[in-house]
């Protein structure tokens, strides 16, 4: 019969180096712009250049069809429109509800390529569609290329040329197609977490350490390492293979360091060492592939000339460990194969009729209800009500933190947790993807009789029969739903001082029958700034004293000695630290293999795994009964502190801890209250703005779209000004902290990391002025003139050269110190230079960092900066006059007038 087939392509665009994309995806995507070229039926995309040195790049996407086209093309370049909020590529909204693609182009914020055609295929006939994605250095070259690709024979010709080129490359490297297949299999072990070719868990645990342990051998630790242990010259064939692998990978731009470890004992005749070095020199002399170190290097080390610690570290961190005596690469790969994780299918069970109810306040009880949410409890809480299939239009999050620990959580329950620094020491993964908002934390409830699986939040399982209520308050978030005959309530908060997240799940059996349930807490460990970069080094175990899962990342130079933990009150019956086991092959958090069907948790922990933490507890509930399950997630400086922290909170009065959090915020936020004719203004001013300023901006330095963990010189000075009345000590502390990031010349670090002090020195013009502005505001508000006498050292470091706009480095603390007043004065002194129109020089930013090229030649001027400098000079002049600083007073007065 005749079939009408709708075909849709989809590709997410980056057009940037991988590091830039992973560091800040939402920001990176802002600069990609799309257009549709009707003549070609093609979509184009380009990245707007931020500097003249940045290369131009264009991408194009088109389809060439052999067959009967009934409709099309429809196009889409907005990922948000194609996937839909709360959806992903498994079930994009554009493929579910029959809607046409929107044909959206331009500055779409989150770009994709999507083309759709409707094709008719008669009985017995064939239609062919060739989707082309191409890259060029200009729009003109891209259109020329797309013209050539519209030829119906272009795909066959291109496939033939690609195959021919591949054969030429293989012949050039002296390898066969079978060799290339082996090399690609080996690459899979380098790129993905897989323990099968790594050292034993014991070896990884024993030898763990930071990258500095490799620097003495010239190995940076920035690239994945493949380690070959060899002790006999007869086994040198595998090194020959490994050098071929390295050349092949470099040609494919897969950067890996190869380390050859000569384990032959010390002797007068170093025949193996000579053979290894000769082989390496011979391969390098051929020069088949460029030899820049960025694509990886080959190192030959002798075990008798390096320390035992270095040997242990190499074995611990290598993604692949090969041994000369174990045969060829193919032999060792074949022996490493693990059987697939095939979970048995879910048994057919009778599921009782589902029930659900709206929990929490009714919409009419919420102020400023917008269809999804509104304020409750006199503005102290914001409540979101999500029905089946509903999501907020963007993630509506709450940031909950104390000065050194916290988490963020969205109305759907997704979020992440950090300790000390929200960028460099994430416990679980941060996401700034407003479309899918994938979480790295989840809490599950399973009916052990029926196999039903759901949870207290709308993420990761949005139960189609349940309404979800999310309540964000100051210092806590609460979630409620009722489904499957069970009412769930989850309360999440952190204490005022300790690095621990408390999650209290209350389960009430409303079904009228006895229930056998299980509760599973799940986290994906990061223990650093990036999960892909940190996962291979994470070590997990079950702590003997508490039964909690402990996790460490010794590779993290700044936080490697710290210990993260996940605890279920010591009442867990099953657990795993292997994400592969918990999710399963191609598994998702919405249907993890370890919880669906006959899945189970195997109690696997250790090193070399795809790390996670999952703890499970079984509960028997009689009809009408209620039970509370408490989950702790946190981190401490070492194992002993972690054990003590868990023990203390297991025995603590958690109601009292929660009351102390609520009372603390009532005290802080109640210091200043306003009443205006605008009720919405009152709610925001009296509760939410000051709370978010302190928690999100000053403590966490993190939000949904950015988790920097850094102090911005201007940013936190501005934030601190808002606390001068309610938390003056906090403002005072940060004034001195910021002054300590100033160079003796008067300029400052634009931002810096609080643990290491590393940061960036720039030519941005307004940063330094904020120190004087904030100090004047603080003194005027509090009357604390003594702060001007506080002595603070300067920092020293690389001075920007002519034509250099910024430099990132770790400065040293200078021997020169000065009062806070002098720090402010030097900042103002350096800000008085003006341009041809008598306005202050713009530099490479004047509070608007997006205008970074206006003053890069030293000529641009800023009207805004003129007004700001005028206001600051007038605010600071009374302090200078009060100190008798006549010379500066006169100079500043003259500049202000």
Whether residue 326 sits in one domain with residue 235: yes
What six digits make up the tokens of 771? 């120190």
The residues, any chain, with a CB within 8 Å of residue 877's CB and separated by 6 or more, are: 889, 892, 893, 896
The model's pLDDT over 413-434, given as tens digits with 9 standing for 90+, comes to 999 999 999 999 999 999 999 9
Asked if residues 540 and 548 have their Cβ atoms less than 8 Å apart, the reply is no
What six digits make up the tokens of 534? 């940190």
Q: What is the pLDDT of residue 496?
A: 98
Q: Is residue 233 part of a domain?
A: yes
**What pTM, to 2 d.p., does this model score?**
0.93
Q: Is residue 273 part of a domain?
A: yes
What six digits make up the tokens of 112? 């994709």
- DSSP annotation string for 41-75: TEEEEEEPPSSTTSPP-EEEEEEEEESEEEEEEEE
- What is the rounded CA–CA span in Å between residue 644 and residue 642? 5
What six digits make up the tokens of 263? 């384990």
Whether residue 378 sits in one domain with residue 253: no
- What is the rounded CA–CA span in Å between residue 551 and residue 43? 46
Only one residue has tokens 């054969």, namely 167
Q: Is residue 673 part of a domain?
A: no
Candidates 853, 855, 880; CA nearest to 865 is 855
Per-residue pLDDT for 505 more than 80? yes
Whether residue 504 sits in one domain with residue 397: yes
Asked if residues 792 and 739 have their Cβ atoms less than 8 Å apart, the reply is yes
The model's pLDDT over 608-654, given as tens digits with 9 standing for 90+, comes to 999 999 999 999 999 999 999 999 999 999 999 999 999 999 999 99
3-state secondary structure of 550: strand
CB atoms within 10 A of CB 729: 10
How far, rounded to the nearest angstrom, does the alpha carbon of residue 41 sit from its chain's CA centroid?
A: 36
Only one residue has tokens 């729009």, namely 139
What six digits make up the tokens of 246? 């390295």
3-state secondary structure of 410: strand
Per-residue pLDDT for 302 more than 50? yes
Is the bond preceding 73 in cis, omega lying within 30 degrees of 0? yes
Whether residue 411 sits in one domain with residue 383: yes
Per-residue pLDDT for 382 more than 90? yes
Q: What is the pLDDT of residue 358?
A: 47
The model's pLDDT over 691-743, given as tens digits with 9 standing for 90+, comes to 999 999 999 999 999 999 999 999 999 999 999 999 999 999 999 999 999 99
The model's pLDDT over 784-825, given as tens digits with 9 standing for 90+, comes to 999 999 999 999 999 999 889 999 999 999 999 999 999 999
Whether residue 368 sits in one domain with residue 323: no
Q: Is residue 754 part of a domain?
A: yes
Only one residue has tokens 């972690």, namely 642
Q: What is the pLDDT of residue 492?
A: 99
Whether residue 224 sits in one domain with residue 147: no
Which of 336, 369, 397 lies at the terminal end of a domain, its last residue? Answer: 336
Asked if residues 102 and 76 have their Cβ atoms less than 8 Å apart, the reply is yes
3-state secondary structure of 351: coil
Pairing of strands 298-302, 257-262: parallel
Q: What is the pLDDT of residue 853?
A: 84
Which of 113, 135, 152 lies at the terminal end of a domain, its last residue? Answer: 152
3-state secondary structure of 133: strand
Q: Is residue 170 part of a domain?
A: no
Terminal Cα-to-Cα distance of the chain (whole angstroms) = 86
Pairing of strands 515-523, 441-447: antiparallel
Whether residue 241 sits in one domain with residue 187: yes
What six digits make up the tokens of 602? 């195997």
Asked if residues 852 and 862 have their Cβ atoms less than 8 Å apart, the reply is no
Sheet holding 574-578, edge to edge: 453-454, 441-447, 515-523, 611-621, 574-578
Task: Tell me the average pLDDT across 173-187.
Answer: 94
Q: What is the pLDDT of residue 395?
A: 94
- What is the rounded CA–CA span in Å between residue 896 and residue 831? 12
Whether residue 519 sits in one domain with residue 637: yes
Task: Tell me the average pLDDT across 534-558.
Answer: 96
Q: Is residue 21 part of a domain?
A: yes
Q: Is residue 10 part of a domain?
A: yes
Range of the domain at 398: 356-523+565-651
Per-residue pLDDT for 598 more than 80? no
Q: What is the pLDDT of residue 198?
A: 95
Residue 645 is inside which H or E element, if any?
helix 639-650
CB atoms within 10 A of CB 333: 20
How far, rounded to the nearest angstrom, does the alpha carbon of residue 747 sit from its chain's CA centroid?
A: 31
Candidates 798, 710, 709, 726; CA nearest to 762 is 798
Asked if residues 556 and 425 have their Cβ atoms less than 8 Å apart, the reply is yes
**Bridge partners, 742 (sequence order):** 748
The model's pLDDT over 16-66, given as tens digits with 9 standing for 90+, comes to 998 888 888 888 999 999 999 999 999 999 999 888 888 999 999 999 999
Q: What is the pLDDT of residue 605?
A: 97
**CATH number for 417:** 2.70.98.40
φ, ψ of residue 473 to 5 degrees: the values are -125, 180
The model's pLDDT over 766-776, given as tens digits with 9 standing for 90+, comes to 999 999 999 99
- What is the rounded CA–CA span in Å between residue 501 and residue 631? 8
DSSP structure class, residue 148: H
Whether residue 283 sits in one domain with residue 210: yes
3-state secondary structure of 221: coil
Q: What is the pLDDT of residue 352?
A: 58
Whether residue 184 sits in one domain with residue 143: no
Of the candidate ranges 80-84, 567-571, 845-849, the one whose mean pLDDT is the lowest: 845-849
Query: 539-545 long-range CB contacts below 8 Å, 24 or more apart?
Result: 539/204, 539/205, 539/208, 539/606, 539/607, 540/577, 540/605, 540/606, 540/607, 540/609, 540/611, 540/613, 541/605, 541/606, 542/575, 542/603, 542/605, 543/639, 543/642, 543/643, 545/643
Candidates 525, 522, 482, 477; CA nearest to 502 is 477
Q: What is the pLDDT of residue 22?
A: 83
Whether residue 188 sits in one domain with residue 146: no
Only one residue has tokens 């299999």, namely 185
Asked if residues 608 and 596 have their Cβ atoms less than 8 Å apart, the reply is no
Asked if residues 514 and 530 have their Cβ atoms less than 8 Å apart, the reply is no
pLDDT band for position 542 (50/70/90)?
very high
Q: What is the pLDDT of residue 52?
A: 81
pLDDT band for position 558 (50/70/90)?
very high
Number of compact structural domains in the chain: 4
Whether residue 261 sits in one domain with residue 141: no
What six digits make up the tokens of 722? 């808002």
Per-residue pLDDT for 520 more than 80? yes
* Strands annotated E in 48-169: 58-66, 68-78, 111-121, 128-136
The model's pLDDT over 346-379, given as tens digits with 9 standing for 90+, comes to 555 555 555 555 455 578 889 999 999 999 999 9
Which of 634, 651, 668 lies at the terminal end of a domain, its last residue? Answer: 651
Task: Tell me the average pLDDT across 77-105.
Answer: 93
Per-residue pLDDT for 345 more than 80? no
Q: Is residue 165 part of a domain?
A: no
CA–CA distance from 131 to each of 43, 136, 815 (Å)? Answer: 12, 17, 64
Chain mean pLDDT for the chain: 93
Q: What is the pLDDT of residue 527?
A: 98
């Amino acid at each position: 019969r005749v079939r009408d087939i709708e075909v849709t392509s989809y590709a997410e665009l980056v057009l940037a180096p991988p590091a830039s994309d992973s560091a800040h995806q939402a920001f990176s995507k802002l600069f990609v712009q799309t257009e549709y070229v009707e003549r070609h039926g093609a979509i184009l995309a380009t990245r707007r250049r931020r500097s003249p040195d940045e290369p131009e790049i264009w991408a194009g996407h088109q389809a060439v069809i052999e067959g009967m086209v009934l409709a099309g093309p429809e196009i889409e370049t907005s990922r948000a429109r194609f996937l839909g909020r709360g959806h992903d590529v498994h079930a994009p909204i554009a493929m579910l509800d029959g809607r046409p693609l929107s044909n959206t182009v331009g500055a779409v914020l989150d770009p994709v390529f999507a083309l759709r055609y409707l094709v008719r295929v008669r009985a017995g006939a064939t239609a062919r569609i060739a989707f082309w994605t191409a890259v060029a250095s200009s729009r003109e070259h891209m259109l020329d290329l797309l013209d050539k690709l519209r030829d119906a024979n272009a795909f066959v010709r291109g496939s033939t040329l690609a195959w021919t080129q591949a054969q030429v490359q293989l012949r050039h490297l002296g390898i066969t197609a079978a060799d290339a297949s082996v090399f690609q299999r080996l690459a899979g072990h380098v790129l993905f977490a897989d323990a099968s070719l790594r050292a034993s868990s014991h070896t990884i645990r024993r030898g763990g350490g930071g990258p500095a342990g490799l620097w003495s051998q010239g190995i940076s630790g920035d690239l994945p390492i493949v380690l070959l242990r060899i002790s006999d010259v007869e086994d040198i064939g595998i090194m020959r293979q490994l050098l071929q692998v390295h050349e092949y990978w470099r040609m494919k731009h897969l950067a890996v360091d190869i380390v050859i470890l000569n384990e032959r004992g010390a002797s007068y005749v170093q025949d193996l060492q000579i053979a290894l070095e000769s082989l390496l020199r011979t391969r390098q002399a051929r020069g088949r592939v460029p030899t820049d170190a960025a694509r990886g290097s080959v190192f030959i080390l002798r075990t008798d000339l390096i320390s035992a610690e270095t040997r242990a570290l190499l074995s611990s961190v290598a993604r692949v460990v090969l041994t000369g005596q174990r045969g060829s690469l193919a032999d060792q790969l074949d022996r490493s194969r693990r059987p697939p994780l095939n979970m048995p299918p879910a048994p057919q069970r009778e599921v009782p009729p589902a029930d659900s109810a709206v929990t929490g306040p009714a919409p009419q009880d919420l102020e400023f209800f917008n269809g999804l949410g509104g304020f409750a409890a006199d503005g102290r809480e914001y409540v979101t009500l999500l029905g089946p299939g509903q999501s907020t239009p963007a993630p509506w999050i709450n940031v909950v933190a104390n000065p050194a620990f916290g988490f963020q959580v969205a109305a759907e329950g997704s979020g992440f947790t950090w300790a000390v620094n929200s960028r460099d020491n994430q416990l679980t993964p941060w996401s700034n993807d407003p479309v899918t908002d994938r979480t790295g934390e989840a809490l599950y409830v399973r009916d052990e009789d029926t196999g039903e699986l759901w949870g207290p939040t709308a993420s990761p399982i949005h139960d189609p029969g349940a309404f979800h209520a999310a309540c964000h308050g100051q210092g806590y978030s609460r979630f409620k739903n009722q489904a499957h005959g069970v009412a769930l309530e989850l309360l999440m908060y952190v204490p005022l001082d300790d690095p621990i997240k408390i999650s209290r799940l209350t389960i009430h059996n409303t079904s009228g029958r006895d229930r056998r349930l299980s509760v599973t807490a799940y986290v994906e460990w990061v223990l650093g700034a990036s999960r892909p970069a940190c996962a291979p080094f994470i070590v997990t175990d079950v702590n003997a004293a508490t039964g909690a899962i402990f996790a460490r990342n010794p590779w993290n130079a700044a936080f490697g000695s710290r210990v993260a933990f996940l605890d279920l009150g010591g009442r867990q019956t099953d657990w795993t630290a292997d994400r592969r086991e918990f999710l399963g092959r191609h598994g998702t958090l919405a249907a993890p293999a370890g919880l669906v069907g006959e899945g189970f948790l195997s109690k696997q922990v250790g090193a070399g795994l795809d790390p996670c933490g999952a703890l499970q507890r079984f509960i028997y509930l009689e009809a009408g009964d209620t039970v509370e399950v408490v989950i702790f997630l946190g981190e401490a400086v070492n194992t002993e502190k972690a054990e003590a922290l868990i023990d203390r909170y297991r025995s603590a009065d958690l109601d009292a801890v929660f009351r102390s959090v609520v009372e603390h915020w009532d005290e802080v936020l109640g210091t200043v209250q306003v009443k205006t004719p605008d009720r919405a203004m009152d709610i925001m001013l009296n509760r939410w703005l000051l709370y978010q300023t302190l928690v999100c901006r000053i403590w966490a330095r993190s939000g949904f779209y950015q988790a920097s963990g850094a102090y911005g010189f201007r940013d936190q000075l501005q934030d601190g000004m808002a606390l001068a009345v309610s938390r003056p000590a906090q403002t005072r502390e940060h004034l001195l902290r910021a002054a300590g990031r100033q160079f003796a010349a008067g300029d400052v670090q634009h931002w810096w990391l609080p643990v290491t002090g590393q940061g960036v020195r720039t030519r941005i013009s307004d940063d330094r002025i904020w120190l004087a502005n904030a100090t004047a505001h603080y003194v005027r508000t509090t009357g604390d003139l003594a702060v001007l006498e506080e002595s603070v050292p300067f920092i020293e470091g690389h001075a920007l050269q002519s034509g250099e706009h910024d430099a990132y480095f770790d400065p040293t603390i200078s021997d020169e110190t000065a009062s806070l007043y002098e720090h402010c004065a030097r900042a103002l002194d350096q800000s008085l230079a003006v341009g041809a129109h008598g306005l202050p020089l713009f530099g490479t930013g004047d509070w608007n960092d997006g205008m970074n090229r206006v003053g890069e030649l030293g000529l641009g001027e800023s009207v805004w900066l003129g007004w700001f400098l005028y206001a600051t000079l007038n605010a600071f002049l009374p302090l200078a006059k009060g100190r008798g600083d006549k010379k500066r007073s006169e100079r500043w007065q003259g500049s202000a007038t």
